[in-house]
Structure formats: structure tokens, C-alpha cells
Structure 1
């Protein structure tokens, strides 16, 4: 049993992870590179979405392979981090947000296909993921407690908006997301949330605000600021995750909602 950790831009490894990885794990949806080791006193499975050196842009991330690999390797829960563009103008850059809601209307993978593991009619595992909130309350509590222990403030709650990359969004697009109540956006965590739900893997997401999305402020965030903030995110994420992982590993994990599966009599 292990805690899965998914990291993105700026965080390509877990500092101090005792691991023999990353090693390939083969799934029906392709190969994922997984590092298994001991970190913060717990057994963890780490995947860098973009891989070291960032060869994979957001449109190259193999979400189904990543989540399937974590599940097959024994992950019981998944903690994920992502750098974000702020849509809420009241939040300062450098803020950490522990999200409690999701805006992902397209529900599609980078290749345009629907975001689901359930692609075969009649397959026994097929079903509808039904829930009130998509993120695990237990894992959210672990992240919030981890922030408090590490002395890193974390905003409790916010709506994560998934947007398709690799381009950034126009001001008009951001206005529509703001009207829907989105707090911050990035280009990777929507599919992870849905696929973990279908795989019955509890999942929680922590965001670090690196820039203001287009139109949120009168002046655009300089690219140099975005780059500096992205570099700073690694230390912030590492501190919170290191404190949160033991609590996540020690707690009883229950996936949010259920996957309603049809039987022959339905």
C-alpha cells in the first residue's frame, strides 16, 4: 500500500526520496514512469506528469496510463500538485489553494477522447461516478494539516478550473470561468480528478498561484514573474507534502462518491 504523488511543472522529483526509479510501468493505456520509495516515513509512488526536463507539455500527458499505473502498483490514495493561473483577483501570487470543487466541462483527454476508463460496452467495471464533491475530504484535511505543520498557509477551498493547453486563455475565456466561480486554472488536473474517481482512488489537489490569468489584473503578469514563482513552488509543495504524507498514510481512505455499476438485470 502506498500514497501516490503527482507533480507538475517545476517539481520533477521529490527531494530526499529514497527510490530506485523512475521505472516504466506498463498499462493498457501505455507506459508510465513511476518512482517507488520511502518519503517522509511512508511508502510513496511518484509520477512527474511532464517528466524531468519537461518533454511532455500538457497536451502530451498520458493521464490514463498514470492513474492506471498508480492503481496497479498499489496506491491507496493520490496527492497531486499543480501550478496555477489565478482567476480570483483577491488571492496573492504565491498562495497555496487546497481545492474542493472542479470545473471541467469538456471532460476530455488531451487527444480529444472522452475522459474515462470505461470505453468497452458491457465491461464489468463500467459505471457512472456519482459524488457530491470530487475531492477526498480526508486527503484535503491531510494537506491542510500539512500546511499548518510546515508553517505554509493554505487556502481552504476553491474551484479548480481545467483548461486545455498548451496555449494560455484569452481574457474573454477567463471572464466566463470567473462567472462560473473558478478560483484558478491549469492544464492537467481535470482528467486526473475524474480518472481517480473512476478508479476509486481518493484524490486531493493543491495549487500554487504563479500568475494572474489574462484580464484578471489591469497589467499582465510578466513571464519572468511566472518563471520565478514556478521555481518557488517546488519548495512550498515539498514542505506541505512532506508533512501531509504521513497523515494521509495513517488515515482510513474512502473514495468520494460511488461508481454505480450496471448488472445484467438493470
Structure 2
């Protein structure tokens, strides 16, 4: 079975992935564009959230189609990466975080609708996703093993904060997130986490810190630094994912928690 990989800003392709290219996959929730191939000896299903050239901003990402396509194509789990703004002032730019908690209070998709696959009353698959941690322990372990083998220092644990884009956040908004214990923020991984949970598709998330969010430091991170860090994330993520894939494929990962269903 394949491992799904979801990448964001700065990582639009997986270097060395043996594939015929990105192809449309039709789902109940629209089209997703998936590259299917072999990477590091592992069968991989890759989705670039934004697409080559970044045509899709965060408010254009088709989260339900992406997660549904990976499930439909038989992914046994998903390794996701995202560049982030640091909310923790003690975190270093260019460092990596393997998240173990989520702050996504709005629980909304970019179009404003609730972030769920359970949209129809009485549908047999409807249910409540109940969990202690939203991320797969098995896939977190694979990512941590990948960082060790790639020689990349990692923070084991942290709270990912999902924020709506495409704008960045104000100082007041970031203060609120800091008070809630958020470690770093970006604009895409909240819906992925929830939707993967509802489909019982194991999912884990790695972040690369490209800038300090507004108000975290006395001086704002220059845009040039953010762009430089984003470029640096590409090879860092590639080296970690290549090393993590065999661990993920060998793990037969279990989804976090359970989906309590009510039957037909």
C-alpha cells in the first residue's frame, strides 16, 4: 500500500520521485491532482496543496478532495509538511517541529462551510471523531526517525495553530494564539487533520519555521528572510521524508482515536 505525502509552499514536487506526473483524481468532493510513483523504494501518492507555480492560495486548497483522493487510492497513511510562522519566541527559524496537538477552533473550510465529510443526516458513515491526540502516533514516530536519520534537529511535540488565509495575522490575534499554547501557525493543515481523522486515515504533520508571527519579536521578520527560509525548507523536508517513508510503510499505522458511528 502507498503512503500519501502532502506538501505546501516551497515544496511543489518530490525530488527524484519516479512518476508520470500529476494526474486528476475524481472524488465526490471534486478533483484532486495526485502524483503516483516510487520514492526511496516506497509507493507514494503525492499532492502539492498549492500546485506548481502556486496557483492555489490557502483559500483555494481543495481539502476534502485531497484527503478523499488519498483514501480512495488506498493510502495507508499521510505524512504532511508545512512551512510555519513561529508563535513561540524561543523557537529558532529554520528549525523543525513534529506536532502533537492542534488549535483549529473555527473548524471551517476555506469556503466557510464546516470542516467535515459528514454533511448528510442519516448517512451511514456519519459519526463523531473522538481522540486524545489528533495525530497518528505511528506516523509521528516515523517522522521523528526520519529527522534523526537525516541529521535534522527536531522539536518533538508542539501545538499547530490553523489560521485562515490568505492574509497573515495581527499582533492581537497572535497574542491570543500564544495564550492558547500554540507553537506555530500556517493556513492549511487544520482541515487536513480533521478530514483525515474522519476517514480514519492516519496523518502526521511536520512544520518548518520560516518567520516569527507578528508581535512575537520586537522586530518583524523581513520578507526576504521568510522567502529564504521557505527555499531552505524544500531540501530539509525532502531529506526527512525520504528517510521517514520506509518507517511509515513498515508501521501499518493506526488512526488516532475512533469514529463513533450511529449506523444506518
* TM, length-normalised to structure 1: 0.99
Contact 2:125–2:263 under 8 Å retained in 1: no
Aligned-partner Cα distance in 1 for 2:205–2:17:
20
Report the alpha carbon displacement of residue 108 of structure 1 after superposing the two structures with TM. 0.2
Deviations 1:203-258 (A, max 9, x none): 00000000000000000000000000000000100000000001000112110000
Q: Give the Cα separation in 1 of the matches to 2:56 and 2:70.
A: 19
1:220 matched residue in structure 2: 220
* Corresponding residue of 1:260: 260
Q: Which residue of 2 aligns with 1:94?
A: 94
Classify the secondary structure of the residue corresponding to 2:33.
strand
Alignment partner, residue 161 of structure 1: 161
Distance 1:154 1:136 in 2: 17
By how many angstroms is 1:20 displaced? 1.1
The gaps in structure 1 that reach 5 residues or longer are none
The match for 1:196 is: 196
SS of 1:174 mapped into structure 2? helix
**Equivalent position of 2:39 in the other structure:** 39
Taking the aligned partners of 2:252 and 2:263, their CA distance within structure 1 comes to: 29
Instruction: Flag as ranges the 4+ runs of structure 1 deviating above 2 A.
Output: none
Distance in 2 separating the partners of 1:199 and 1:14: 25
Unaligned runs of 5+ in 2: none
Match of 2:51 in 1: 51
2:145 maps to 145
The answer to whether the 8 Å contact 2:76/2:252 transfers is: no
Deviation digits for residues 161-188 of structure 1 (CA, Å, limit 9, x no counterpart): 0000000000000000000000000000
RMSD over aligned CA atoms reads 0.6
- Once the two structures are TM-superposed, the CA of residue 262 in structure 1 deviates from its matched residue by 0.4
Post-superposition offset of 1:263: 2.8
SS at 2:200's partner residue? Answer: coil
Normalised by the length of structure 2, the TM-score is 0.99
What SS does the aligned partner of 2:21 have?
coil
Q: Does 1:124 align with 2:124?
A: yes
The Cα shift of 1:51 comes to 0.5
